[in-house]
Amino acid sequence: MLTVLLGLIGLSIVVIIHEFGHFLAARALGVEVETFSIGWGPRLFGFRKKGTEWRISAFPIGGFCRMKGEEDFKKALEQKLPHIPAEKGSFYGAAPWRRILILASGPVANVIFAIVMFSIVSFVGMTIQTAPNKIVLASDLASVSATTDKAPADAAGLVSGDIIAAIDGKTVRDYSDLQEMIGLNPGKTLMLKVERQGSTLRIPITPRLDKNSGQGLIGIYAWVEPVVSSVDPQGPAAIAGIRQGDVLSAINGKPIANTIGLLAALESKPENVALTVLRNGQAQTFRLVLSFAGSGQSNLGISFASLSRTDKASSLFDAIAKGGKETYSTFLMTAKGIGLLFSGVNVLKAVSGPARITYLIGSTAQESIHASGFAGIPTIMSFLAFLSISLFLMNLLPIPALDGGQIVLSLVEIFKRKPLLTKTIYRFQFVGAAMIIALFFLATFSDVLFFAGK
């Protein structure tokens, strides 16, 4: 319930910011706002000020800004009027250029919100847990090497232990940078600067499109040193005697150099293993009794040391500059993601509906606060900024019933220099409604599969 509540709050913040942008523009351009509601459905309570009813509604999901004249379209259809009545102070009574500004103001408000959120995050700093930019080939795992398709990393000649220092001339600080640069460029040939045993190599590689996520993959994992950072008191490792600070060196007598080596040794699902660790420079061996989940994973009850990186601006002006840059980068990334929907990705896995978005916001908030307390708030803010940019882009798509579709109608009206026929607008909106309903059912079905674990 807490996850759902936090998710609803987060989603509502982004939507309300969007609607408030419409409100401010409408008031500034002479269009009366009849109602501004936080939430949907029946009115719970509220007040009236300067001609606008401000209210809290029953269903706490987003909100809406209802302008004067929004019902005039319905009346024009019912009364078979050739044009929508242009009543003074109404949305359809405003000049087309004014309507365009009002429609665009919601998405613009989302961009401003994203810049503010990213700037605050940059100013206070955000710490992420990652790993070094040293890699392990995924093919080191038997389950991966058994597949028929050769991974791009193997085809390019990368080897486990390589350090990827730069991509296309841009420095790679850690595995998080590596994931981002690879993930955002499926199908694009990248030039890697690779450090291998004292030598520097330049290796071209083309990430493969993962049709389930829309990301680029090359078939690598992070090289994580097998240093135990924490032990679950109830897990097999603790029961056997493994302690924090132990360094795993072998399993069943076979040396392991990283955590992927440990996973490789457990692929056969052994019932028990002999785990050798270095403790204070001395080798000790412990026998662990294991169990495996249906997914094939075994919870040893061990966490391994990660690399912490804190990104923080040097000043307020630097924070604002970084906030703008991050907003632009997120815009490009989101636009590219929307484009990939038409590149053969599995839309049932790549598209999220309201239920999954709410869950993701809530789980991100809950996990961040649980792991870092108030220090986890920047992670939540970054997620909301990302969602705000997504809302900006989606609303400006030229789809009827969305802001972008309404802007198209207003542009056509400017071009024709006369109001559009009611039936023309109806046909346009009918197509849009059909598209939105289809997208809603697609996203809902996607959410059902997600929560069903499929």
Q: Which residues are designated catalytic?
A: 19
Spatial distance between the Cα atoms of 67 and 86, rounded to a whole number of angstroms: 13
SS (H, E, C) the chain: CHHHHHHHHHHHHHHHHHHHHHHHHHHHCCCCEEEEEEEEEEEEEEEEECCEEEEEEEEEEEEEEEECCCCHHHHHHHCCCCCCCCCCCCCCCCCHHHHHHHHHHHHHHHHHHHHHHHHHHHHHCEEEEECCCEEEEHHHCHHHHCCCCCCHHHHHCCCCCCEEEEECCEECCCHHHHHHHHHCCCCCCEEEEEEECCEEEEEEECCEECCCCCCEECCEEECCCCEEEEECCCCHHHHHCCCCCCEEEEECCEECCCHHHHHHHCCCCCCEEEEEEEECCEEEEEEEECCCCCCCCCCCCEEECCEEEEECCCCHHHHHHHHHHHHHHHHHHHHHHHHHCCCCCCHHHHCCCHHHHHHHHHHHHHHHHHHHHHHHHHHHHHHHHHHHHHHHHHHHCCCCCCHHHHHHHHHHHHHHCCCCCHHHHHHHHHHHHHHHHHHHHHHHHHHHHHHCCC
